[in-house]
Amino acid sequence: MSLRDRINAGLKEAMKAREAERTSTLRLISAAIRDRDIAARGDGTAAEGIPDSDILALLGKMVRQRQESAKIYEEGGRLELAAKELSEITIIEDYLPRQLTAAETEEAIAGVIAETGATGIRDMGKVMAALKEKYTGSMDFSTVGAAVKARLM
């Protein structure tokens, strides 16, 4: 079952169970996917919709946005809004693969560097592309970039 199908099935189940928060979060996800589908059709890149790898990237971005919002709400004393953002994160993460630990991330970086034969900072793009191809949704690429750069210097 594709990720898109899992999200749609989860939305139907949440609607039947009358879970308002889960339903609204899954509707947000579906709307974001539809927006990406429309943009991809306009580019002529995806006639039947974006692939699961793009959906995983989109979900990862949604999690990061909510983490930032929750942090800002907590700093501003708006704990009820922060709690809402954090509960949305848990719902979104149900559809993401397990995140790699720091040790597993380092091991993956070392493996990809060895596979690609990267020797210097000029090869960083090649390494990052290979990591994104293999580990989309399993790593936070905003922090991985710094680790790859440190390894290649």
Lowest mean per-residue pLDDT among 4-8, 41-45, 97-101, 144-148:
41-45
pLDDT tens digits for range 15-48: 999 999 999 999 999 999 999 988 888 776 656 7
pLDDT tens digits for range 41-70: 877 665 678 888 889 889 988 998 999 999
pLDDT at 150 over 90: no
- pLDDT at position 40: 84
Identify which has the larger pLDDT, 72 or 39. 72
pLDDT at 78 over 90: yes
- pLDDT at position 45: 63
Residue 46: strand, helix, or coil: coil
DSSP annotation string for 77-110: T-HHHHHHHHHHHHHHHTTSPPPPPHHHHHHHHH
State how far the Cα of 67 lies from the Cα of 88, in Å rounded to an integer. 10
State how far the Cα of 22 lies from the Cα of 20, in Å rounded to an integer. 6
State how far the Cα of 71 lies from the Cα of 57, in Å rounded to an integer. 21
Distance of CA 83 to the CA centre of its chain: 20
Percent of the chain whose pLDDT exceeds 70: 97
- pLDDT at position 47: 62
Domains located in the chain, CATH noted? 3-93 (1.10.1510.10), 102-152 (1.10.10.410)
Most confident of 44-58, 85-99, 133-147: 85-99
